A and B are shown apart, each in its own frame.
Chain A
Amino acid sequence: MTGQISLAKQVKKVLVGDHAVAEAVKLARVNVISAYPITPQTLIVERISEMIERGELKADYIRVESEFAALATVYGAAAGGARAFTATSSHGLFYMYEMLWWAAASRVPLVMAVVTRVLGPPWNIHDEHTDLLAIRDSGWIIGMAQNVQEAFDMTLTAFKISEDEKVLLPVAIGLDGFILSHTAEPLDIPSQEDVDSWLPPRNPRIPYTIEPGGEPITMGNLPKNDVYHALLKKYMDESMENAKKVIAEVYDEYGKLTGRNYGPLTECYRCSDARYIAVSMGAWSGDIMGAIERLRDEGYPVGLLRIRYLRPFPEEDITAWINGAKGVIVFDRDYSAGLGGVLASEISGFIPSNVSFEGVLAGLGGFDVSPDEFRGIIKEFIDKTEREGPIKIRKYWYIPKVEG
């Protein structure tokens, strides 16, 4: 795509997740940034402001009066032909909900970091995935990182994915609040020159620009026929399908640049000889991998399917990995009221009737789940299936006992 890519010179740094995201924004040479402070995203915008003040990043940072304004502003910047970025969390994300849909259907490229956080009341700043998943219908491509390195990598690749002519959809990258955002981990960072060779500046002509003296186009007046609108939705769906290929292409190139190769939409840990598959998203996947290790030592043939991008929905990956499995257990750090876990409900449709299935709701409100607890839950599921045959538990509420 971009010509010869050679392995970049990389520097090892130790950064908290939020700062790693800021680093990616700097390297992507973003033109316009606008965000409103909200815990646990604030470190992103503070670091970006510092970078701009120090002259490390030449960009406009617009201090807005709300998250709604933040997204509206970066949307305007994108419609004006700039590369733009915002970041938010839970309540802030929901405050920009209207704008999220408008931005996606306007088909302008945008990148947003969502530092996942519980929604109140009661007020709670700890981690939950419900906020990020609540925008899954909007037309945003949604990715979630497992560690700080991936948070950096996903943010950087997001610009390339979003601006691709075949995609032109905004990208949201999730990182677990406090668990990743405020936790320092080591990561490798390519140099500016290497990133420049791989990520060119935004082309304002794609798909269109609203600028004084520019083409006299109008974006968004009424359709002559409602069928036009349906067509636009179909095109959005086609672009989401295209995104699956584009994400793979981008990570392929990125792998050549950095030496880090990711399964583009999903990754499956110890799945090749697994009879049971656990499914998860985000940082706690690492803890689940720890549980998988212990279970393997005990002879349990289990693997972990980690979902990196939930939108576009990785249907092909999921059906391929669970093909032939005896049981699938999905971990949701989110809750859709009246239904259960979001991941569980999206995946359950692909589970054959003779395959065991359990949707576990855990970590809600931000409580920690240890590898040992994961091990216990998975073990119980596998033991029960082995004893009784396929079981179907759509909602298993894991709530540990509390002292006092």
Chain B
Amino acid sequence: MVTMTELHKYGTRKFIMPGTAACPGCPLQVGMRQLAMALDGKFVMVIPAGCSSIIPGTAPYTAYTVPVLHVPFASSPAVASGIVRAVRQRGNEGPVVVWAGDGATADIGFATLSGAAYRNEDILYIMADNEAYMNTGIQASGTTPWMAWTTTSPRGKTEDKKDVALIMLMHKVPYVATASIAYPMDFIDKVRRAMQVKGFRFIHLHAPCPPGWKMDDAYTIRAARLAVETGAWILWEYNQGKLTISPPSIPFKDRARRKPLEEYLKIQGRFAHLKPEDIKLMEEKIDRQWDLILKLAEIYK
């Protein structure tokens, strides 16, 4: 279990060089720093089109300090499959990580994701979910939550959030987990446990985006924490046959212990138009999701 004492050794280490093109308060930065700490900065990244294509700045320089291949939008799981086969042939067992957004993963890259997962390619796939196509200016994606404002769902999104992590579970891969940038110890531990497993490992990382969610720049972590504390985001982990609710989410199994959903919604302008009946429906959806995950935890004991 990682501790702050252990992470202190990275106190002046820049896994991502400062001076990036990221928006102030960007969750992807927070998440990638945590990923790098978990892997001691030794990995390669395959990055499909998205915010992370722009964040590292312009050639001849990049803010990323590991080898990175920027690739077309739909291709990252397939490209990563090729890289990992090539480097493993040369006896290199190092981590090949896909760092992809929700659009690249749940929508346009869905087929390549499914292919790589079903082949059980030895890659670590992080879906950094800011819940819309943020790089192109906040358009709805498959993981945009129900009722969220985006430029292509101005009255609120009519579809539900696509549950990519459960879809990965049904691909029978050895490791699937959800994580949040507000719970870095949990995320880092999950990355490290995933690295103990060979095969396709998928982590769905919740990454609240201030401009996209119409939120104060400073509230990135606060929003991620409230998502867990209201039960809206469930932290769970499936590791080679066992599915467990992660410690930070355990208290919120109990409906009564969850913070009121309004606390999470009211700091986000993208939900400003919600009526009380919408919020009630949202709570019901959250209840049903908890039921599902808890039942799965029973099945995968």
Direct contact of A and B (CB under 8 A): yes
Is the CB–CB distance between B71 and A204 below 8 Å?
no
- Scan residues 41-96 of chain A and give those whose CB is less than 8 A from a CB of chain B: 60, 62-66, 68-70, 72-82, 84
How far is A217 from B65 in the complex, measured between Cα atoms in Å?
8
What 1/0 mask marks residues of chain B from 36 to 80 whose CB sits below 8 Å from any chain A CB? 000000111010000001101111101011111111101100111
Q: Could you say which of B67, B75, B95, B111 contacts A218, with CB atoms under 8 Å apart?
A: B67
What 1/0 mask marks residues of chain A from 206 to 245 whose CB sits below 8 Å from any chain B CB? 0000111111111111111000100000000000000000
Is the CB–CB distance between B75 and A31 below 8 Å?
no
What 1/0 mask marks residues of chain B from 121 to 154 whose CB sits below 8 Å from any chain A CB? 0000000000000000000000000000000000
- Known A73-B78, A81-B87, A84-B82; contact A210-B44, beta-carbon cutoff 8 A: yes
Does any Cβ of B come within 8 Å of A98's Cβ?
A: yes
Is the CB–CB distance between B92 and A211 below 8 Å?
yes
Q: Give the size of the chain B interface in residues (CB under 8 angstroms).
A: 46
How far is A81 from B85 in the complex, measured between Cα atoms in Å?
10
Is the CB–CB distance between A81 and B44 below 8 Å?
no
Is the CB–CB distance between A32 and B78 below 8 Å?
no
Is the CB–CB distance between A60 and B111 below 8 Å?
no
- Known A64-B78, A65-B114, A212-B95; contact A217-B67, beta-carbon cutoff 8 A: yes
For chain A, the bracket of interface size reads 35 or more
Does any Cβ of A come within 8 Å of B115's Cβ?
A: yes
How far is A75 from B66 in the complex, measured between Cα atoms in Å?
19
- For B46, list chain A residues within 8 Å (CB): 76
- For B112, list chain A residues within 8 Å (CB): 65-66, 68-69, 72
How far is A228 from B60 in the complex, measured between Cα atoms in Å?
10
What is the interface of chain A mostly: helix, strand, loop, or mixed? mixed
Does any Cβ of A come within 8 Å of B83's Cβ?
A: yes
How far is A217 from B60 in the complex, measured between Cα atoms in Å?
10
Nearest chain-B residue to A202 (Cβ)?
B86
Is the CB–CB distance between A216 and B82 below 8 Å?
no
Q: Could you say which of B56, B80, B82 contacts A32, with CB atoms under 8 Å apart?
A: B82
Does any Cβ of A come within 8 Å of B34's Cβ?
A: no
- For A211, list chain B residues within 8 Å (CB): 44, 67, 83, 87, 90, 92, 94
How far is A64 from B85 in the complex, measured between Cα atoms in Å?
13
Is the CB–CB distance between A212 and B92 below 8 Å?
yes
Does any Cβ of A come within 8 Å of B196's Cβ?
A: no
Nearest chain-A residue to B43 (Cβ)?
A212
- For A62, list chain B residues within 8 Å (CB): 81-82, 85, 119
Is the CB–CB distance between A221 and B82 below 8 Å?
no
- For B104, list chain A residues within 8 Å (CB): none
Is the CB–CB distance between B90 and A81 below 8 Å?
yes
Does any Cβ of A come within 8 Å of B5's Cβ?
A: no
Nearest chain-A residue to B96 (Cβ)?
A212
Tell me the smallest distance from the CB of A343 to a CB of chain B, in Å.
Answer: 30
Closest 7 CB pairs of A and B: A212-B94, A76-B82, A80-B86, A220-B70, A72-B78, A82-B86, A76-B79
Please give the residue numbers on chain B whose beta carbons come within 8 Å of chain A beta carbons, in ascending order: 42-44, 46, 53-54, 56-60, 62, 64-72, 74-75, 78-87, 89-90, 92-96, 111-112, 114-115, 118-119
Please give the residue numbers on chain A whose beta carbons come within 8 Å of chain B beta carbons, in ascending order: 31-32, 34, 60, 62-66, 68-70, 72-82, 84, 98-99, 102, 204, 210-224, 228
> Can you pick out 17 interface pairs between chain A and chain B where the beta carbons lie within 8 Å of each other?
A62-B81, A62-B82, A62-B85, A64-B115, A65-B111, A66-B111, A69-B115, A77-B82, A79-B69, A80-B83, A82-B89, A211-B67, A212-B42, A212-B67, A212-B93, A214-B67, A222-B54
